[in-house]
Structure 1
Amino acid sequence: MSTPAPLDPAVALWSAELAERTGRPLLVLLHGYGADERDLFGLVPFLPPEFVVTAVRAPLSPPFPAPGYSWYPIEGLDGRNPSSVTDAATALIAWLDEHAPDAPTGLLGFSQGGAVALQALRLEPERFSFAVNLSGYATPGALPRDPELAQVRPPVFWGRGARDDVIPDFLVEHTTQWLPEHAELSGRVYQGLTHSVSEAELEDVRVFLQKQLETLEADDAPVGEPEQ
């Protein structure tokens, strides 16, 4: 069994100082292949301000001359190996255990980051409140807690472009079948969009996140006294 490469806490970006994070829900941003923690952090002004947002850096470096970082290899015979996606999700969970163990947590990932977000849900179905999967996919193959995930059915938003030619068709087809069986799915296919994020998609994500905030607030509301 491989040892997942750890995430570097020194490079994580946060939307709030440590003293301002207590009692607030956390949204973790997971960038795509060849990017870094700064890539999605620019979305913070467009996201509901009630969230504390953190953007973490993937632990691997793509082969030269590709820039940035990756969560798992996509090239060679081992490209998109399910165990590599699981390793990345395991490393993410270990990082959260150390740096945000108690906050209600949602995940938002693009491409590779979306795949890691869904894999983390599968590893710990009750740990995460929801996930946003942008231009990503569900990794094929069974995991031990998949039946439990199908019972919990966390909310998942899946957005992708109709002209996205980066994610292979068989992964899109697998995700189309797998997600409704394991999550409370909402999402949209954006006409004309390639492997990227549009303003319309970002607005849909904002609405989805606002709904998740309302659910979290309702769950935290004190139970009223019984009527006399």
Structure 2
Amino acid sequence: MKLHYITRPSSLKENAPLLIMCHGYGSDENDLFSFAQELPEELFIISLRAPYPMQPFGNAWYAINFDAQQNKWNDVEQAIESRDKISNFIDEACATYPVNKENVTLLGFSQGTILSYAVALTYPEKVKNIVALSGYISEDMITNTKNNNYSHLDFYCSHGSVDQVIPVDWARKAPKFLDNQNIKHSYSEFPVGHGVAPQNFYEFRSWLEQRI
């Protein structure tokens, strides 16, 4: 299944840095794309739509199920399928558009962040920078960490300190995980819920500008 997406071309005619956006659960490709006009014009931006339609609207990268005990659990098989779809999409995008395959950034929000972590930590050769907003590392969606070379990766991670959807404690485990793998990263918290505060946006934009 091919992923639907929208693009914003780069000001560069070739070798443009590529930014791929992965939205959150129940949203679509237009959500994060609203950031596009505020991001550096040399970026070639692609915003993906997750493959599983939801009712009455929106999309998911994988199902989140609720059982009788009110516990949520993730459909990890679907998540791994989506992880691999994004990984394959990176290859297709690099073959199709005038971008630099050595300079690929993933930008995720919430469920899109969980998948961005999974792609980067399973297929590190395909990405360079990761902007991980309001998500966490789900280790059951990551394979092959032992043999991977993470030396070039760089993560910007942020979370709302009063997030009512994904507890901030989950996000706080990411720096420790990344430290253990000797992966470059920065981590910030902002006094908001499940969303991106303006100062959060300006901070990750500045982080990105220094790396593209």
Alignment TM-score, normalising by the size of structure 1? 0.79
**Aligned twin of 1:31:** 23
SS class of match (1:72): coil
Change (3 A) 1:198 1:143: closer
Letter in 2 for 1:186: S
- Which protein has the bigger strand share? 2
Identity of aligned residues (%): 25
CA distance in 2, matches of 1:170, 1:210: 28
Match status 1:12 vs 2:5: yes
Q: CA deviation at 1:7?
A: 3.5
Structure 2 residue aligned with 1:53, among 45, 59, 69? Answer: 45
Tell me how large the CA RMSD over aligned residues is: 2.4
SS class of match (2:159): strand
Letter in 1 for 2:190: Y
Change (3 A) 1:195 1:143: closer
**Aligned twin of 2:131:** 132
Change (3 A) 1:81 1:57: same
Q: Which runs of 5+ in 2 are unaligned?
A: none
Change (3 A) 1:166 1:142: closer
CA distance in 2, matches of 1:72, 1:200: 30
Q: Which runs of 5+ in 1 are unaligned?
A: 1-5, 214-228
1:106 and 1:131 in contact (8 A); partners too: yes
Match status 1:75 vs 2:75: no
Change (3 A) 1:58 1:207: same
2:52 and 2:59 in contact (8 A); partners too: yes
CA distance in 2, matches of 1:23, 1:61: 33
Q: How many pairs does the alignment contain?
A: 202
2:84 and 2:119 in contact (8 A); partners too: yes
1:57-97 C-alpha deviation (Å, 9 max, x unpaired): 000023x34x2001011123683244432221101111222
1:139 and 1:171 in contact (8 A); partners too: no
